[in-house]
Every structure is written in structure tokens, then in C-alpha cells.
Amino acid sequence: METIKIKNYFFMDMSVMLGRSMRHILRSLDTIITVTIMPIAMMLLFVYVLGGAIKTGTANYVNYLLPGILLIAIANGVGYVSYRLFLDKQRGIFERFHSMPIARSAAIWGHVLTSLLSNVISLVVIILVALLMGFRSPAGVLSWLAVAGILALFTLALTWIAAIAGLSANSVDGAGVIAYPIHFLPLISSAFVPTGSMPAGVRAFAENQPVTPVVETIRALLSNQPVGHTIWVALAWWFGIMLVAYVFAMRVYKNGGKR
């Protein structure tokens, strides 16, 4: 019974921290707008300007492109997690929370869950724009749920990586630098063009880095095609990354931002 009460208090504390972080997002909608506009602009550019010159073997390039755009949108969103965590650390917010009778980890979980919810909003908007651009999917409900689960795992993994940067950074620029390598991976993958069109060295990297199996799995699910072993490769990559990032982020958090 005591264990159940402790768990209930933890979830109550976490919901309060989630509400706090979400209010910050809703009071500053430019964050969601910024996160959403850039991927949409990229989608417009690639489909209507560059799409005619890119050979993907599919009749509808926006169908091919959308999985990569969704991942780039998530990468945009987690950059703000790093920034907000850094601000909370610099302003002594965590120390104030720790002096209160609340679960110690609730504050950081509030930021993580806010990242998940705000990215859901951005991704829904992007998918709606893609539908206006001609995106069509024969996927059923189960396939869409699988896509949602994979995107959630990808978001959580990147969010915990961003948390490490935000909690250990000494400046705003240091907190934001994590966005650059995160953006790099979707660009050098099968998100925009088939890997077979790349030079040998680049192709080897693109085919064996963690973003490509996610792109291929989502693309197969949305087109109602067999996913094969790719889904297990994607899950192994990102579950492992999330677990390692979570452990390091919590260690930095408990040490007060000292690695």
C-alpha cells in the first residue's frame, strides 16, 4: 500500500511539472511554429523544386519524403528541451523544486513529456500539410499506431540526449549545439534520396546509421508494405540509445549538472 501511495504522489508531481512546462509552451507558441515551419518549408522545397530531379522509384515523392521530414521536425523540437533545461538550471529552479516535498525526478520528467506532447502537435500539422500536398497512405489503424510508437521512441531518445546537453552546458550556445549532430543524421540517410545513388563511402554510412532503419520502417508501414527485419533494427538502435541517454541524463541531473 505504501508503494502505491509513493507511485501516486510521483505521478501527481509529474503531472504538475508537465502542466508547468506545457504552459510555457502555450504562452510562447512561436516555439511550436518555428519547429513546424522549417520542416514544412523543406517539404515544399524538395517536392515542388527538387522533386522532379530526384529518382526514388515512387510516383509520389511526398510519400517518399514524409518520414524524413517527421524526423527532422522532432530533431528541431528537442533542441528547445535542451534550452529550457539549461534556463531552469541557471535560474536555480531545480534547487527550489528539490527543497519542496515533491519527487526529485518529476521536474525533468515534466520537460521530457512536454517534448513528447509538443512534438505530437507539430507532427500532426506537418501530416495535414502533406495531405494537402498529395500525400496518401493505404495503411490501416495498426500500421499508424506502429508509426506513432516508433516516432514516440525516437522523440524520447533524442529528448534524453538533449537533456544531457541542457543540464551539463555552461552557456546557451553550449546547450543548443546538440541540435547540429541531431540534424545531420536525417540528412545523410535514405530520407531524401535512395542510398544507392550515393558515393560508396557516404552510402556505407547512410545505410548503417540509426536514422535510416527508422525512415525505412515508417515508409514501409505508411505504404502498407512488409517491414521485414528493419523494424527490429530500428527498435534496437533507438531503445538502446534512449536507455543509455536516460541513464546519463539522470546522473547529470542528480549531480546538479556536473558530468
Question: For residue range 145-173, what is the model confidence (pLDDT) as tens digits?
Answer: 999 999 999 999 999 998 888 888 777 76
Structural domain that includes position 154: 2-254
Q: Would residue 61 count as lying in a domain?
A: yes
- Taking the C-alpha atoms of residue 29 and residue 181, their distance in angstroms, rounded to an integer, is 25
Query: In this structure, what C-alpha cell is assigned to residue 179?
Result: 541540435
Considering the domain boundaries, does residue 124 fall inside one? yes
pLDDT digits (tens, 9 = 90+) for 45-58: 888 877 666 766 67
**Cα-trace Rg, the chain:** 19
Q: Looking at per-residue confidence, does 103 or 141 come out higher?
A: 141
Coil, strand or helix: which one is 190?
Answer: coil
Domain membership flag for residue 149: yes
Q: What is the pTM of this model?
A: 0.86
Asked whether residue 207 is domain-assigned, the answer is: yes
- Does 13 score more than 70 pLDDT? no
Helices (H) and strands (E) in the chain, counts: 11, 0
Asked if residue 209 belongs to a domain, the reply is yes
Among left, alpha and beta (phi > 0; psi -120 to 50; other), residue 224 is left
pLDDT of residue 6: 43
Task: Choose from 103-117, 137-151, 177-191 the range with maximum mean pLDDT.
Answer: 137-151
In single-letter form, the type of residue at position 168 comes to S
Structural domain tally of the chain? 1
Distance in angstroms (rounded) separating the CA atoms of residues 166 and 85? 5
Residue 176 located in a structural domain: yes
Q: Which residue has the higher pLDDT, 150 or 25?
A: 150
* Residue 170 belongs to some domain of the structure: yes
Structural domain contains residue 259: no
